Amino acid sequence: MILIITKDTEIGRSVKEHTETGNTGKVMLLFGEDISSEERFFEDGEMSSFIYLYHETGGEGGSESGVFRINRILDRYYPDLLLKSDLPETSSGDENVAEFYLKAAAKLPPHRIHILKVRGPVTDSAGKSITAYIGNVIAEGSEKEKRDIERSERDKKIRERAEKLAEEIHASESMKRQIEELVRYSRISGIDFDDMISELGREGLLPVADKKEGKKVLGELQRRICGSAV
């Protein structure tokens, strides 16, 4: 979930107008004067990125209006600018911004914290710039989510396969961990683990009667997978 916070009602409205924040469950937009920096906004364990949007109230120098990406806050904090963006950049000396940054940084890596400032009127074009940026955060986040899901499915399969063999060879907990490493490495390096187990069966090394024999089989499996059986 991408959390977007702005205290500025105008910016909030503009974002709402252009961004699908409704029922997708992917984006949560909080806006309005009453938005405080309460902890509860950051408690959501699902938060994958944080965007803080604010309207310059003056006093930060420079007169060019538009949307800016913040690259430095109070000479101390630095969002990691890894996401591609054509927005001009500037620094921020706003204590409020620092407060939000710190709260987000307690949960998120610095490249998942985005701070944008609108200087001057919140024009239609400013709204569109913000929306485009948010769009990139969402799209990048979706790719990551897809990868995370694929990985967790693969991890689950690895664990299941390891548990099956662990049971067959009466493995202890530490043996089980070793098996898991072997299954993982096999998958990554293109070794057919099941084929190798069948081979051990054909050679009469499997099934085993007890843990002692199981250990031998594990040693042999290790030698074959790790390349030391040459």
Sheet holding 2-6, edge to edge: 27-31, 2-6, 49-55, 113-119, 66-73, 89-92
Sole binder of another protein in the list 65, 78, 123, 220 (CB under 8 A): 78
Q: How far is 4 from 114, CA to CA, in rounded Å? A: 9
Rg (CA), the chain: 26
- Chain residues 45-64 in contact with another protein, contact rule CB under 8 A: none
178 binds another protein (CB under 8 A): yes
Q: Are 217 and 205 in contact (CB under 8 A)?
A: yes
228 binds another protein (CB under 8 A): yes
Nearer to another protein, 30 or 102 (CB): 102
Measured from the Cβ of residue 10, the count of other Cβ atoms closer than 10 Å reads 15
Look up residue 52 and give its two tokens: 């803080």
131 binds another protein (CB under 8 A): no
State the nearest-atom distance from the C-beta of 204 to another protein, in Å. 23
State the nearest-atom distance from the C-beta of 42 to another protein, in Å. 14
Nearer to another protein, 32 or 93 (CB): 93
Q: How far is 37 from 2, CA to CA, in rounded Å? A: 16
Sole binder of another protein in the list 10, 60, 140, 213 (CB under 8 A): 140
- CB within 8 Å of 227: residues ≥ 6 apart: none
Q: What residues make contact with another protein under the rule CB under 8 A?
A: 71-72, 75-78, 80-85, 89, 91, 105, 108-111, 136, 139-140, 143-144, 147, 151, 178, 181-182, 184-185, 188-189, 222-223, 225-228, 230
